[in-house]
Amino acid sequence: MPVLPEKLFLEAVDQLVNIDRDWIPGGDGSLYIRPFMFANETFLGVKPSSDYLFIVIASSVGAYFKSATDAVSVWVSQEYTRAAPGGTGAAKCGGNYAASLLAQAEATRHGCDQVVFLDAAERRWVEELGGMNIFFVFNDGSMLTPPLGTILPGITRSSLMTLTKDKGIALREERYSFDQWRADAGSGRLREAFACGTAAVVTPIGTVRAPDGEFKIGNGGSGTRTDELKKALVDIQRGHAADRHNWIHRVF
Ligand SMILES: Cc1ncc(COP(=O)(O)O)c(C=O)c1O
């Protein structure tokens, strides 16, 4: 696919936001902007398309999960994987979501809000959720998030990494196994876990369920670090805190 020039991208988003600005909800709501691109060459066969459409759509949205404050439950998929090394896991490509839907349906069947994927090679290492990245908080105050490679390099993940650095919090980008996750939750070494993404913002994970049982993280609710990071990010987004890293783009 061609790389869209940044200027054209911003201009398209600015124009749509300007047209739709009356749809921006008050309070905690947002205007969710979804730019995307797809191939539309008239051709039968397997090859990269020579024509593409770039489209921006938007919708006013509320909280991604039913309760914006409660912790969510996650289902750890043992059977299905989302992305393999050398594949398209790091790209926001539609096929990744197609590959995640059966696992998400399984999560829903088991009463969970979201699915967590393990790595495709060993089915051992925690990667990410169907539509969110994941962070862990330990009892020594340090944090961990899975490394890039087969996961989506989310902008929320990246922003939270910057904010943790600003706050002097030790954060490792390191592999973390599901077995270790369970052991650490049991021993109390793990204090909090949360999911993050543009739509989910920062959402605490309270219950982890798998075919061989479930465990809770902390008291099963949100934690102080999760709340602190969510507030730090949302305050910048809403203009209530200084934008030290120039993340805000104003649309006039
Ligand atoms: C698979 C996946 N991982 C992570 C994320 C979080 O990315 P971002 O913070 O850029 O929204 C998303 C969001 O759409 C996603 O679909």
Looking at the domain that runs over 6-61, which CATH code has it been given? 3.30.470.10
pLDDT in tens, the chain (252 residues): 999 999 999 999 999 999 999 999 888 889 999 999 999 999 999 999 999 999 999 999 987 777 655 899 999 999 999 999 999 999 999 999 999 999 999 999 999 999 999 999 999 999 999 999 999 999 999 999 999 999 999 999 999 999 999 999 999 999 999 999 999 999 999 999 999 999 899 999 999 999 999 999 998 999 999 999 999 999 999 999 999 999 999 998
Predicted local confidence at residue 65, as pLDDT: 74
- Protein residue with least CA distance to atom 4, ligand 1: 132
CA distance 45 to 142: 51
Q: Of 172, 165, 100, 176, which Cα lies nearest the Cα of 142?
A: 172
Predicted local confidence at residue 30, as pLDDT: 92
- Protein residue with least CA distance to atom 10, ligand 1: 154
Out of 47, 66, 92, 165, the active site residue is 92
Candidate of 145, 152, 156, 202 to mutate for ligand 1, largest count of ligand atoms within 8 Å of Cβ: 152
CATH 3.60.15.10 for domain 72-237, yes or no, is: no
Site residues for ligand 1, CB cut-off 6 Å: 128, 131-133, 152, 154-157, 197-198
User: At a CB cut-off of 8 Å and minimum separation 6, what does 241 contact?
Assistant: 232, 235
Q: Could you write out the DSSP letters of every residue in 126-153?
A: EEEESS-EEEEEETTS-EEEPPSSSS--
The pTM of this model reads 0.95
Predicted local confidence at residue 68, as pLDDT: 55
Q: How far is ligand 1, taken at its centre, from the CA of residue 154, in Å? A: 5
Predicted local confidence at residue 70, as pLDDT: 84
Predicted local confidence at residue 62, as pLDDT: 83
